[in-house]
Structure 1
């Protein structure tokens, strides 16, 4: 008998399925779990804020406008880091190895590519510590569209691999349309090999 956690494979999860994580999952580590109020020795604590306002009031005669100092929780909420658990360094390395195996420099597609993704215009940079090695492909005709790719990956859809040349401009017309050439509709008399008026010899021979 094999536990379900060991039988599960990528792509097995469907709509409505729940995948619980273990409490000691090596891929995760505790995130920021402080209270809304900063500690007493924090630069944004109420005590230091009141002390700073009092010193400012002593140094100037003008009334000082009250400044609102955000708490650590508010800053963490804005930065998106206020989570119970975050990805650990082991989880980052594991994800990087998985992405590098699927869309990395050792794949047959990358080996035959004319250039790497680091110079491709379809690459969307990532944020965080993995931005120096990975990005997201945005080429709808590429094999990795919408996937995380290594900067050393590449494919035939590179933006600078085969730039289509501009259409050749046709040459100007050589005909002179500013001058009119006169052409006779009927030949003039006396021109051609047959005379206009038959002579006597031709009548004797039966020519008309």
Structure 2
């Protein structure tokens, strides 16, 4: 489609009305914007139900040489105050723990923020320290002087006799003291190295003990984020302090129950597992301030000495008599029902049916079957 330069706005409206399902869906003209290179964007209000604030956008190109407008494209675009759908969330992030069936499996991403490396990563550090040794504390605090350094060159005597002659006679023990001090320095360095190694070994031993206690030898374990999410989910769930059973437990919390098995680690501060087979929470993680009606300190009810006879669910001691409706008077039918079997003589002749002292004859009576 094209139009003269005099009326590009009418062309844009005609295009919008052609694209829309109904002409009434195109509202008032909102304005136009120059996009450069002869391209202009014409906007019209949208009157479609559910698309409040949206706008019809028609892009036209102006050919200056021909003095004509050509349609580039048209679409329905949102405005500043338009009604927009919520931001799309991946299906995996929309799932709830209760949405999964026993046959569903999501898997775990390699970079799941809820997990981190377990004790296996510490073994590599321990092996590295065992191979290269610990860095001495003295060496890490203050570097030793390098005898090959050229920053301050030492004066080297030309002859041993000159060295002996330069030593004063009244300080004869100075040389031996210097030798002793150098020996003590080597001993101090060795002691610092041994102390550093011992400290590292103690730290690794303590880490290994913690890993063994909390079973951190798995490839990946929970991060603080994973523990926090689990704690929040459990605490706000049906086995937390806001459940109906907690409100009816008369203040008897799980942390004082003998069937409460505390968890290990940081989750021990808030949670444990119920081990009471008569409790509705048996085998589930419960908070310490949760409660139910089967606390270990609740005494069983005392048996009563009186036997209370309950009403039976089905009473078979009485017979209900149902009155029958009166029967239609049909004498011949009743006579036939009360009569005996048809009688025949040896020749096969019908002798009638005897009903009491009366013998009935009927032309429709069946004949005796031949033997």
Q: Please say whether Structure 1 and Structure 2 have the same fold, judged by a TM-score greater than 0.5.
A: yes
Within the candidate set 215, 227, 234, 1:99 is matched to: 234
- Residues 37, 75 of structure 1: CA spacing in aligned structure 2 closer, same or farther, 3 A cutoff? farther
How far apart, in 1, do the equivalents of 2:257 and 2:211 lie?
A: 34
* Larger fraction in helix: 2
Is 2:92 the counterpart of 1:5?
yes
How far apart, in 2, do the equivalents of 1:81 and 1:95 lie?
A: 18
CA contact (8 A) 1:76 1:82 kept: no
* Larger fraction in strand: 2
Q: For structure 1, which runs of at least 5 residues remain unmatched after alignment?
A: 43-47, 53-70, 169-208
CA drift of 1:99 comes to 0.9
How far apart, in 1, do the equivalents of 2:208 and 2:91 lie?
A: 39
Deviation track 1:155-204 (CA, whole Å, cap 9, x = no partner) reads 11111123445999xxxxxxxxxxxxxxxxxxxxxxxxxxxxxxxxxxxx
What's the counterpart of residue 89 of structure 1?
224
- Residues 74, 121 of structure 1: CA spacing in aligned structure 2 closer, same or farther, 3 A cutoff? closer
Is 2:160 the counterpart of 1:24?
no
What's the counterpart of residue 297 of structure 2?
160
- For normalisation by structure 2, the TM-score amounts to 0.33
- Backbone CA RMSD of aligned residues: 3.5
- Residues 141, 83 of structure 1: CA spacing in aligned structure 2 closer, same or farther, 3 A cutoff? same
- Residues 136, 85 of structure 1: CA spacing in aligned structure 2 closer, same or farther, 3 A cutoff? same
Deviation track 1:110-146 (CA, whole Å, cap 9, x = no partner) reads 0111211111111112111111211100111211110
- Matched residue SS, 1:129: helix
- Matched residue SS, 1:37: helix
Is 2:127 the counterpart of 1:37?
yes
Larger Rg computed on CA atoms: 2
What's the counterpart of residue 339 of structure 2?
none
Figure out how many residues of one structure are paired with residues of the other and give that number: 144
Deviation track 1:49-94 (CA, whole Å, cap 9, x = no partner) reads xx79xxxxxxxxxxxxxxxxxx879868745312332211111111
CA contact (8 A) 1:136 1:149 kept: yes
- Counterparts of residues 47-58 of structure 1 (less than 5 Å): none
What's the counterpart of residue 143 of structure 1?
280
Q: For structure 2, which runs of at least 5 residues remain unmatched after alignment?
A: 1-87, 136-190, 196-203, 306-371
CA contact (8 A) 1:29 1:86 kept: yes
